[in-house]
Amino acid sequence: MKLVTVRQLVEEFEFRVIAGKRGLEKEITDYSLKRPSAELVGYLTYLTPQRIQIYGRTELGLFEELSPHLRYDNLAKVMIGEVPCLIVTRGLPIPPEFIQLAEERDIPLLASDRSTTQLYYLLIRFLANRLAPSTLVHGVLVDVFGVGVLITGDSGIGKSETALELIRGGHLLVADDAVEVQRVDEENLHGRAPQSIRHLLEVRGLGILDVTKLFGAGSVREEKEINLLVELEEWEEGKYYDRLGLDPPQTSTILGIPVPKVTIPVRPGRHLASIIEVAVMQNRLRSRRK
């Protein structure tokens, strides 16, 4: 996880620094944002002061509705020292209470001409990429029928060869060999390939293949949500395998998030790409029944 300071945010988005310049080296530790409407009227239960605060028309309009003697007091309870910075959108006029408290408490007060919705989206994307928990998984990530399938298993088990068959069948490659997995919120994981191996597929006997040159630009995706984990393992004689589909669904936890899992034994004669396609359809059917 890289460190992000308010100063870096100012440089990235070309914000105007209105007040609180002494706080520009503050670290941003949370990639979520806060629009503190309820907090401005005294409801502080969900203040979450570690988040960047965004003020648009709604928030400033609500603030202007407060009586003059409440404005400073209410805002002082919201603009506390832990707040990394405040951003006012749309080039809106900034009330003097904001400037005063920003200077008193060394909280950077920033301004942008972007709309609140646009800026919210851009900030979430930027901060999630920089701050979201992440890990590197040895495997292959493929988009199968719109479902992100992470294929794992021991080296040489046939992960890349299976991915090649899926790509030939019209599905999309996201990452081969190494998958950068990132937890973008409390429920979702996204995966992508490291820049150095993006769009490449290593197949023993053929070497490293450029998937875009072989199958076209429409055969790859830059990023995909991970919806299903498929683990390939060597077939073991005498080991129990579910043959009737009566066993409870498996899950595997990645970065604290449970992901539906299917274990597929590998032996000669099994067409793994077709089995994975059916596993995706079966997982979709189970999801609809919940």
Q: Is 2 annotated as a binding residue?
A: no
Q: Is 32 annotated as a binding residue?
A: no
d(CA 194, CA 66): 50
- For residue 175, the SS3 value is strand
Quote the tokens at residue 266: 């590998």
- Identify whether the C-beta of residue 62 lies closer than 8 Å to the C-beta of residue 35: no
- Angle between helix axes 68-78 and 96-105 (nearest 10 degrees) is 40
Q: Is 218 annotated as a binding residue?
A: no
Q: Is 115 annotated as a binding residue?
A: no
- Find where tokens 């709309």 sit: 115
Q: Is 219 annotated as a binding residue?
A: no
Q: Is 176 annotated as a binding residue?
A: no
Catalytic residues: 138, 159, 177, 243
Q: Is 154 annotated as a binding residue?
A: yes
What stretches of the chain adopt beta strand conformation (E)? 16-19, 33-34, 52-55, 86-88, 109-111, 134-138, 140-144, 147-153, 172-175, 178-183, 189-192, 200-203, 207-210, 223-225, 228-234, 250-254, 257-266
Number of residues assigned to the chain: 290
CA distances from 68 to 57, 64, 74, 79, 165 (A): 19, 8, 10, 17, 68
**Residue list, annotated binding site for Mg(2+):** 160, 202
**Residue list, annotated binding site for ATP:** 153-160
**Residue list, annotated binding site:** 153-160, 202
